[in-house]
Every structure is written in structure tokens, then in C-alpha cells.
Structure 1
Amino acid sequence: MRKQLVESVAEINVVILTGKALETFQIFYTPNVVMQEIDNENIFGKGDSLLRQQEFFSNITSFNEAEVKSVSLAENRRVVKWFQHYKRKKWEERKFHQVGVQQRQRREMTHEKFYYGSSVYSPK
């Protein structure tokens, strides 16, 4: 079980790091997934979650960096700390750390919640 979880975590992180984050929905999410950012309302279902992610990525004008900083694994849960640096159409350039907490059933995610600060990068 642990070996499968480690392999699944590595697989999804590679897909994300190669710029194919939206493709993860087809492979790694259950139809009834629940997603949430910070304390915002839950988004229920793969369809609505995918629409929200498509909207997010369509507004990125430059994606400069993404790096997995750490991974913690438990039986049906994984926690991944990311560093991200990007610019969006309506926001300033952003550099920040994000933590994603995922509950899983086999290799698919049933619940995912993101925690992050509001760090904004201002070049000097």
C-alpha cells in the first residue's frame, strides 16, 4: 500500500511539474471529489472542480516556477508543500508556498484542500 502511495504521489507531481496540471483530473480525482481553498466554500464534484481549475490556469500569464518542497504520507492522506511563482492577468506577480492536503481512495483523490498565504512578490 505504501509503495503504491509513494508511486502515485511521484506520478502526479511529475504531471503537474511538466505543466499538465489539468490532466490530473482525468487520472487522479474521483467523480465526487470535494475541493477547497483556505476557508472558501467547498467545490463538489470533478466537473465543477475542473471548471474552477481551468479558470485559474487560463488567467496565468507566466508560470515561472513550481517546486515540491516536501511530501508527507499517511495511509490515505498526503500533504505536499509547494513553492510557486507566477503572474496572473488581474494580480501582481506572486511567489508563495502552498500546502495541499489530500485524502485518497486507492490512487484517486476524494478531498483536496489548499492552504497558502497572500505573499506578493515585488521586484526591487
Structure 2
Amino acid sequence: MKTLIEKISTINDMILQGNSLEAFEAFYHDDVVIQENDNPECIGKEINRKRKQDFFAAITEFRCAKPLNLAVGEQTTMVEWHFDYTHKELGVKNFTQVAVQNWKDGKIIKEKLYYES
């Protein structure tokens, strides 16, 4: 059985290799809730999968993704990321984001993303 540090490190490696959607499929719970800042929560793997697919399909230039910091607690992980890309709807994005993940049954059940909007 993998520890949380091993699981979140695997997710981070998959993201860096361009396999974000595969990481989502492998490590996110069917009942996952994802929230960006104080926006409404998106509930369930299906709706979150579609959001991720649409987001990645709209990236026109990808320059950088880099994990800066990682913290692991009891059933919680946090990763600070730096991203730099161009999105056809959002334009040029160069920012830092903190992702806080809560785990249940070995998968991410809740994720909240914090970034300057």
C-alpha cells in the first residue's frame, strides 16, 4: 500500500510528464469535490473529468509546470505549483497555485485550489 507522500509524488510526476488526465483517473475518488477559490464546488468525477478535458483542450501553449512545495498530513496533502501557459479563453497565465487534497479510501475525495484570480 502506497503512502500519501508516494501517491502525491506519483501524481506530481504524472502531471510533469503531461499525464494529468491519467493521474485524475487513477487517484481521484468517484465522489470527488473540486473547488477553485470561493467558486461553487464541482461535485463528482464525471463533471470534473469534463472540466479538466475542456481546460487542457484549450491550452494553446504550455511553457511550465513546477511543484515548488509539498506538505503531507493525516489524510491531507498540499502542493504549491507554478504554472505558465497560454489558454485560448483565459489568455497568458503565469501564476502560483496551492492545491489542498483530502484523501478517503486511498483517493482524493476533495481538492481546493487557491490562486490569485
TM-score bracket for this pair, using the shorter chain length: over 0.9
CA RMSD of aligned residues (A): 1.3
Matched letter for residue 110 of structure 1: I
1:1-16 pair list within 5 angstroms:
4-16=3-15
User: Using the alignment, how far apart are the partners of 2:100 and 2:22 within structure 1?
Assistant: 19
Q: After TM superposition, which residue ranges in structure 1, 4 or more long, deviate above 4 angstroms?
A: none
Map of 2:86 onto structure 1: 87
1:36-47 pair list within 5 angstroms:
36-47=35-46
User: Using the alignment, how far apart are the partners of 1:103 and 1:51 within structure 2?
Assistant: 21
User: Using the alignment, how far apart are the partners of 2:90 and 2:111 within structure 1?
Assistant: 24
Rg comparison, structure with higher value: 1
- State the shift of 1:25 in Å: 2.0
Question: Unaligned regions of 5+ residues in structure 2, if any?
Answer: none
Map of 2:112 onto structure 1: 113
Map of 2:32 onto structure 1: 33
User: Using the alignment, how far apart are the partners of 1:22 and 1:9 within structure 2?
Assistant: 14
User: Using the alignment, how far apart are the partners of 2:48 and 2:70 within structure 1?
Assistant: 23
Map of 2:72 onto structure 1: 73
Bigger strand fraction: 2
Taking every aligned residue pair, what percent have the same amino acid on both sides? 38
User: Using the alignment, how far apart are the partners of 1:24 and 1:54 within structure 2?
Assistant: 13
SS at 1:41's partner residue?
coil
SS at 1:11's partner residue?
helix
1:97 and 2:86 matched: no
User: Using the alignment, how far apart are the partners of 2:103 and 2:10 within structure 1?
Assistant: 14
- State the shift of 1:91 in Å: 2.7
